[in-house]
Structure 1
Amino acid sequence: MSESPLKVWLEKDGALLRLRLARPKANIVDAAMIAALQAALTEHLPSAKLRAVLLDAEGPHFSFGASVEEHMPESCAAMLQSLHALVIQMLESPVPVLVAVRGQCLGGGLEVVAAGNLIFAAPGAMLGQPEIKIGVFAPAASCLLPERIGKTASEDLLFSGRSITAEEGFRIGLVTAVAEDPEQAAVAYFDEHLAGLSASSLRFAVRAARIGVLERTKTKIAAVEKLYLEELMATHDAVEGLNAFLGKRPAAWQDR
C-alpha cells in the first residue's frame, strides 16, 4: 500500500492540477482518501496560474465507494461530515474540476465525481448509488444529482440503487463525453478549451455558473446529513443492512 492514497502533481506549467486515487482496485473513499483530497485542494486551488483540476484513478475501477465500516453508527457522523466538507470544497473550486472515470464508480465515489464539473467516462464504465440496497441512502448524491440531471433521472438512480453505463450517463447528461481513454480526453479538452483562457476570467465564469447551486446544495446537505444521522441510523433496517453487507449475508428487513 502506498504512503498516500492519492497521487498529486502539476502539469501544463502549473495550470493543471492532477489528482489520482491510488489504492486500486477499489480506491475506497475512506477517511484517509478524503483527507488527502482535501489537503491537495487546499494547497493548490489558491494558485493564480491554475486553470483546472483533473481527478482520475489508478487501476481498472474509479472507486467502489465509501468505506462501509465507516458507515457504522459509531463512526458515520465523522465520515459523513468529512465527505460532505470535501464535496463542498469541490463545489467551491475556483476552477473547473474535470473527472476521468473507468470501470465501477459507485456510492461515495460517484458522489465525489458528481461534485466535479465535467465527467469523461470510458465505454462500459458503470455509475451508481447502490446505498439503498444496503438499507441506507446516498446523502451527498441526494443533493448533487438533482442539480446535475434533474428530478426524474436522479430519483430513478437514488431509489433503485441501479448502476448505469457511461453511455446511459451521457444520454441523461451526467457524463460529458464517452471516450476510450477518458484521461486523455480530459487533457485534450483542457488543451483545446481551457489552457488559453485568462485564469482570472475563468474563475468568474465558474463562480457565475455555480451561483444558486452552491447555496442550495449547502443547505440541502446540512438537512440530509441530519436526516441520515438522527433518523435513518436510528432504524433497525439501516444498521441491519450495513451489518449484513459486512457479514456477506442477505439482510433480514423488518421494515422499521
Structure 2
Amino acid sequence: MGILERHDTNAVRRLHMNAPERLNALSDEMLAALKAEFETLQDDTTIRAVILSGEGKAFCAGHDLKQMTAGRQAEYGGRAYFKDLFDRCTEVMLAIRALPQPVIAQVHGIATAAGCQLVASCDMAVAATGTRFGVNGVNIGLFCSTPMVALSRNIPRKQAFEMLTTGSFIDAQRALELGLVNRVVAPDAVAAEAEALAQTVADKLGTAVRIGKRAFYDQIEMTAADAYAHTGQVMVENMLHSDTAEGISAFLEKRPPEWEQ
C-alpha cells in the first residue's frame, strides 16, 4: 500500500493518507502524492466529490518536523529548502480550492498546524467527537503563518488569532461552533457521515456543482457589487446549459431528471 490510497465508489473518490507512523504528516512524499492526485482529478468528470481521510490515530499532524530538521543542514540554514517546502504546501492547499469537485475532510484524532490548514482548505469537513484542532507551531517557536491563511478564512479573526498566538487546541464541538467543520459525529460513524455527505453532492448535476464551486471562491474575494455582477453572469451561463433545462422541466413535471452529465 502506498502513502496515499485511492478508492472510488459511485462517483466519490476517497483519498486516504496512509502514513500512521508519522501521524500522516505532510512530508515531502505526502505533499507530492496529494499534488499528483489533485492534478489527476482536475479533468476527471466521472468523480463528483472527494473525501480526504487519514489512517491511524490522527488525521494529520502538520509538517514533518524530522524532515524539516534535516533540511536545516542545507546551505544558508536550509533557506531554499524551507521556501520550496512552504511553496509546495501552498500549491496543495490551493489545488483543493481549484478542484472542480467539492472536497470533504474526514477528521479524527488530531489536526494540527498544516494539518489544521488542510482541514480549513477543504470545502467541507466532518469530524469525530474527540478530535482536537490546533495551529500550535508557536509552542515550538514557529508561528503558523501559512496555516493562518486558511484558518482565518474559515473562523472569526479573534478566535483564529487566539489559536495562533496561544497554541491552544479546540475540540470538535468548538470547531463546529466556529465554522471550521460542518458536522460532528461519533468516531464509529464519521466515515459513513462523510460518505453520505459526499454522495449527496455527487448525486447533483456535476456541471452545476463545478460551476458553483468556482463561482463561490471567485465571488468571496470581491466586493458585494462585483460579486453580484459576476455571479449573475455565471447564472446566465448555467441557465443556458441543456442539463439545467432538463432539471427545471423535470421539477415542473414532477419526475426525476435525465441528465447527460
Q: Normalising by structure 2, what TM-score? A: 0.76
Q: What stretches of structure 1 of length at least 5 have no aligned partner?
A: 216-256
RMSD (Å), alpha carbons: 1.6
Q: What one-letter code is carried by the residue in structure 2 that aligns with 1:22? A: N
Question: Aligned letter for 1:21?
Answer: M
2:198 aligned partner, one-letter code: F
- 1:167 and 2:173 are equivalent in the alignment: yes
After alignment, is 198-207 or 150-159 more displaced? 150-159
TM superposition shift of 1:214: 6.7
Are residues 1:197 and 2:204 paired? yes
Residue in structure 2 matched with residue 183 of structure 1 by the alignment: 191
Aligned-residue identity in percent: 24
Q: Give the number of equivalent residue pairs.
A: 210
The TM-score, its normalising length taken from structure 1, stands at 0.78
Structure 2 CA distance for aligned equivalents of residues 117 and 195 of structure 1: 14
Give the corresponding residue for 2:247: none
In 1, distance between residues paired with 2:98 and 2:118?
Answer: 13
2:37 paired residue number: 40
> Aligned-pair distance for 1:195?
2.6
2:29 paired with 1:21:
no
**1:112 aligns to what SS in structure 2?**
helix
What letter corresponds to residue 6 of structure 2 in structure 1?
V
Secondary structure class of the residue paired with 1:211: helix
Q: 1:126-145 residue pairs with structure 2 within 5 A?
A: 126-145=132-151
User: Retained in 1: the 8 A contact 2:59–2:110?
Assistant: yes
The residue type equivalent to 1:7 in the other structure is E
3-state SS of the aligned residue for 1:119?
Answer: strand
Q: CA deviation at 1:186?
A: 0.9
- Residues 9 and 18 in structure 1, CA contact (< 8 A), matched pair in contact too: yes
The worse-fitting range, judged by mean Cα deviation, of 142-151 and 94-103 is: 142-151
- Supply the distance in 1 between the matched residues of 2:103 and 2:91 (Cα, whole angstroms): 16
Structure 1 segments of 4+ aligned residues over 3 angstroms from their partners? 69-73, 212-215
Aligned to 2:216: 209
Distance 1:45 1:11 in 2: 18
Whole-Å separation in 2 of the counterparts to 1:57 and 1:109 = 11
> Are the counterparts in 1 of residues 117 and 148 from structure 2 also a CA contact under 8 Å?
no
The yes-or-no answer on 1:61 pairing with 2:58 is yes
Q: Partners of 2:221 and 2:190 in 1: how far apart?
A: 27
CA pair 48-110 structure 1, distance change in 2 beyond 3 A: same
1 CA distance for matches of 2:109 and 2:99?
A: 26
1:119 aligned to 106, 125, 131, which one? 125
Distance across 2 between alignment mates of 1:113 and 1:146:
12
**Structure-2 separation of matches of 1:139 and 1:214:** 20
Q: Once structures 1 and 2 are overlaid, which stretch shifts more, 71-80 or 156-165?
A: 71-80
